[in-house]
Structure 1
C-alpha cells in the first residue's frame, strides 16, 4: 500500500545486470535465468519493466562492460535509467519514469546485493514506494578479501532483513522468482 497517491501500478526494476558487474557474481547463471523469467512474466502481464544501468570508471558508458548481459534484452518502449550512484533514484530520472507510468510498487532484482540493490530498496521505501526484493534474483561478487562476508551470506542476510523490513504506509518483503505474480496492469 504505497504512500504515493494515484500510483496503482507495479514495475519490475532490473538493476545493473551488466557484463562488468555480473562477470564475477555469485551463482550468475541461476540469477540471470531467474531475472529472464521475471522479465517474461512481467511482459506477459503487461507490467512495466524498467532497466537501470550503472556508469563508472570501471563501467564506461558504451563499453562492453557497461552493456547488459547478452541473456537479457530490453524492448522498446521499456525505459532505461542511467545512474552513477548506488541508489537508482539518486540523480536520475527514475522517479519521473515511474510517476509517468503510475507506478507505486517495485519488484526489484539485479546486482550488486550489498550496494546498488540495498541502496535502491532503501531509496524506494524512503520515497514512498512499496519495494519487494526477489530473493533468488539478486547477486554480488566475492568481497571477502576486503573483510565482507561470503557472497551467499551477503545475499542471505539481505533477504532476511528485507523480508521483515517495515515503514509506515509502505510494504517491503521478499519473494522467490517462482512465486512472483504481476497480475494485470491497472489503468492509469
Structure 2
C-alpha cells in the first residue's frame, strides 16, 4: 500500500472558528514536513461555497501551510472530498492507495471524507489530534468541538468496509513512508 497525506479544508475562515486551531495546524505542519521528508505524497483539499468564496482571503489555505508546486489541490463543494471532484484520479496518478487524513471540519468534511474513502476502498488513518471543528448545537443542546472530535475518533477506530478499514493514531505516532 502506498500512503498519501490528505489535508482537508485547512483554510483561513474555516480555522478561524475551530477549536484548538493553532495546535492542530502545528501538528499538520509537522505531518506535511514529515511526509515530504519521507517522499509521501501530500494532497490538499479546499472547500468553497456561498460562505467561503473561491479566491477570497478566507478561502485560502492558512499561511503556515504552503502546498508545494507539485502537490495537487482538489477544490470541492461538498463535505465528501471525493464527491464531484477528481480526487480519485489525483490519488491514482500519485499511486496512493491508503490515506492519512487530517484537517477540518471534523463533523462535516472530515467525517464525510473518511466514509467516502472507505466506501471507495481506501484504508484510512485518521490523525487523532490533527482534525478539528467548532462548537455546535443539536436539538437546542450545546455540542462541544472536543466532543465531536472524540466521537469521530471513536467511530473511525471501529469503521470497517469490505476491503478497507480505518484506524486512529496520534500525530506524533503517525508513520509516513
- Give TM-score scaled by structure 1 length: 0.91
Structure 2 residue 42 is matched with structure 1 residue 37: no
SS of structure 1 residue aligned to 2:128: strand
Question: Alpha-carbon deviation of 1:144?
Answer: 2.9
User: Residue in 2 aligned with 1:5?
Assistant: none
Match of 1:66 among 59, 66, 74: 59
Q: How does 1:84-103 map to 2 (within 5 A)?
A: 84-103=77-96
SS of structure 2 residue aligned to 1:108: strand
Structure 2 residue 157 is matched with structure 1 residue 149: no
Stretches of 4+ aligned residues off by more than 6 angstroms: none
Question: Alpha-carbon deviation of 1:85?
Answer: 0.2
Q: How does 1:6-155 map to 2 (within 5 A)?
A: 8-144=1-137, 147=141, 149-155=143-149
What are the ranges of 5 or more consecutive residues in structure 1 without an aligned counterpart? 1-7, 184-188
Distance (Å, rounded) in 2 between the aligned partners of 1:78 and 1:16? 15
Question: Alpha-carbon deviation of 1:52?
Answer: 0.1
SS of structure 2 residue aligned to 1:107: strand
Q: CA RMSD in A?
A: 1.1
2:136·2:145 contact (CA, 8 Å) conserved in 1? yes
Structure 2 residue 166 is matched with structure 1 residue 166: no
2:121·2:162 contact (CA, 8 Å) conserved in 1? no
Distance (Å, rounded) in 2 between the aligned partners of 1:148 and 1:64? 30
- Give TM-score scaled by structure 2 length: 0.96
Distance (Å, rounded) in 2 between the aligned partners of 1:24 and 1:57? 17
